[in-house]
Amino acid sequence: METIRRTKIVDLLQKKKEFGATVDVKGWVRTIRGNKYVNFIHLNDGSTINNLQIVADVEKFGEDFFKPVTTGACIHVVGKLVESQGKGQTMEIQADSVEIYGTADPETYPLQKKGHSLEFLREIAYLRPRTNTFGAIFRIRHHMAYAIHKYFNDNGFFYFHTPIVTASDAEGAGSMFQVTTLDFNNTPRNDKGQVDYAEDFFGRQTNLTVSGQLEGELGAMALGAIYTFGPTFRAENSNTPRHLAEFWMIEPEVAFYDINDNMDLAEDFLKYLIRYALEHCKDDIEFLGEHFDKELVDRLQFVIANDFVRLTYTEGVEILEKSGHKFEFPVYWGADLQSEHERYLVEKHFKRPVILTDYPKEIKSFYMKQNEDGKTVRGMDVLFPKIGEIIGGSEREADYDKLVLEVETNGAITPQEAVARAANIVNQHLDAFMVLSEDELSVEVPSIFAPEGAGKNTDLDKQVEELDLSVRSYNCLKRAGIHSVRQLVEFSENDLLNIRNFGAKSIEEVKDKLQSMELGLKP
């Protein structure tokens, strides 16, 4: 007996053992039921979502033996693998011996044979990997991670570990977590009373990475083609499917690729992953389809069977403008597209994944290759049904002079914006003199959401430029078509959080500004 090695349930169910063989299984009891002759145990060992049926004669084990074996108990069974007589399974084990490793008191063990809400499972995070839902998600996540590595390895990409703790902010992709060994109670300070980061672990202020792109590009310029696949961090307190404080991101960087190569890679990569999932995670995907999203399998099949649509941002905006659809956020050439726009193109108009390219320069990063039109850059977003943007990328600018110009003007604002802001600063200085010669003017335009009495508030006429916001917040507002304070107060906190890159920090900033003018966001 001792020499039989344990077999995983997934291997038994895939018929890696012959009927009649004596097998050794270990796992956790999902359910147990019986009568005075026989007990039926459904055993799960995590290797698959499917359970193995154990049949144990009452006569053989005694009437009391299985009393402590309840849902959640951990047992070790040796027995004969036989064809199942009953419905619902093709095989079962006739138990010769059962060892009880651990019991789970039904009075206190929280996972019983019934559906539990995700909210409840959140309270018992240490046990929820044992549920079908989380088990399925974790197994699929494993297979997807493996497929990602396999895809890149088979295609000649090198896995590149970029730093997690860094002093770089990459492209300014989001708010950052500080990493420090300094003490809040005994903070070293320099002559000017500033925090002396020379005393910190790395001799400077450091944070958790928001992107490995910069280091990845160095890797690609040496190894030809690399990819990163590691944790990435955003200190943004917005609970949306798009934002997690800690998440794993994939960033391929390839020398000599143009925008078409990027699109080919993105489409081939996604289709490979979906095919891999349908092949290796069939049972888990079917479980999720049945319980969470009936169209899941069909949608995945459809995506791999059809070409992705490739069209320019300009064409996309035209379709949206002509659609007659009433969007929450306005659509016009130059606007950063919102989820509702992206999903309209994918789910309503084309009914398949879309790769949008050639975005306006102003709403994309400085390092994207400029087209000859002087207005658009070779960026691409892959838009996926039910998700929206799933991949973003670009051909990189390789014109050294253009890059220098972009970096030196900071890249975050366009020349027009720079001029507008400069003019505004001059204007503010002139303000002091203007009151000397003019009476105060106030135009009353009632605003629904401004606080009472705000109708008389002349600050409502201020332009966003005059609020002295951070570049990030300012750009986000402008991209969302919010140009004046009067417009701004019509938005709620949640509305603003839906603007890409607009996080909790920006919210605080805007609220502070409004408060200083005795105004506030729409409740």
Q: Which residues of the chain form contacts with its own copies (CB under 8 A)?
A: 6, 8, 10-11, 26-27, 45-47, 76, 101-102, 126-127, 129-130, 134-135, 138-139, 141-142, 145-146, 149-150, 153, 156, 158-161, 163-165, 175, 177-182, 184-185, 187, 195, 201-202, 208, 218-219, 221-225, 230-231, 233, 235, 237, 245-246, 248, 255-256, 398
Rounded Cα distance, 180 and 205, in Å = 8
Rounded Cα distance, 58 and 44, in Å = 22
Instruction: Give least dist CB 41 to its own copies, A.
Output: 17
Instruction: Give least dist CB 272 to its own copies, A.
Output: 16
Rounded Cα distance, 49 and 132, in Å = 6
Instruction: Give least dist CB 140 to its own copies, A.
Output: 10
Within 13 Å and on the Cβ side, how many CA atoms surround 507? Answer: 18
The smaller minimum CB distance to its own copies, of residues 217 and 406, is found at 217
The smaller minimum CB distance to its own copies, of residues 216 and 360, is found at 216
Instruction: Give least dist CB 8 to its own copies, A.
Output: 6
Instruction: Give least dist CB 181 to its own copies, A.
Output: 5
The smaller minimum CB distance to its own copies, of residues 145 and 425, is found at 145
Spatial CB neighbours of 490, under 8 Å, sequence gap ≥ 6:
447, 448, 449, 522
The three-class DSSP label of residue 10 is helix
The smaller minimum CB distance to its own copies, of residues 62 and 115, is found at 115
Instruction: Give least dist CB 412 to its own copies, A.
Output: 22
Instruction: Give least dist CB 206 to its own copies, A.
Output: 9
The smaller minimum CB distance to its own copies, of residues 25 and 309, is found at 25
Tell which residue, 259, 250, 216, has the closest CA to residue 391. 250
The three-class DSSP label of residue 511 is helix
Answer yes or no: are the C-beta atoms of 74 and 25 closer than 8 Å. no
Q: Is 256 left (phi over 0), alpha (psi -120 to 50) or beta?
A: left
The smaller minimum CB distance to its own copies, of residues 232 and 376, is found at 232
Phi/psi of residue 428, nearest 5 degrees:
-60, -40
Instruction: Give least dist CB 52 to its own copies, A.
Output: 13
The smaller minimum CB distance to its own copies, of residues 72 and 316, is found at 72
Instruction: Give least dist CB 439 to its own copies, A.
Output: 41
The smaller minimum CB distance to its own copies, of residues 248 and 333, is found at 248
The smaller minimum CB distance to its own copies, of residues 232 and 394, is found at 232
Phi/psi of residue 352, nearest 5 degrees:
-165, 170
Answer yes or no: are the C-beta atoms of 86 and 93 closer than 8 Å. no
Instruction: Give least dist CB 77 to its own copies, A.
Output: 12
Tell which residue, 324, 204, 308, 317, has the closest CA to residue 262. 308
What Cα–Cα distance (Å) separates residue 331 from each residue in 19, 138, 337, 381, 479? 65, 39, 7, 17, 10
The smaller minimum CB distance to its own copies, of residues 80 and 130, is found at 130
Within 13 Å and on the Cβ side, how many CA atoms surround 265? Answer: 27
Q: Where are the beta strands (DSSP E) in 14-90?
A: 22-34, 38-44, 52-57, 74-83
Rounded Cα distance, 28 and 163, in Å = 40
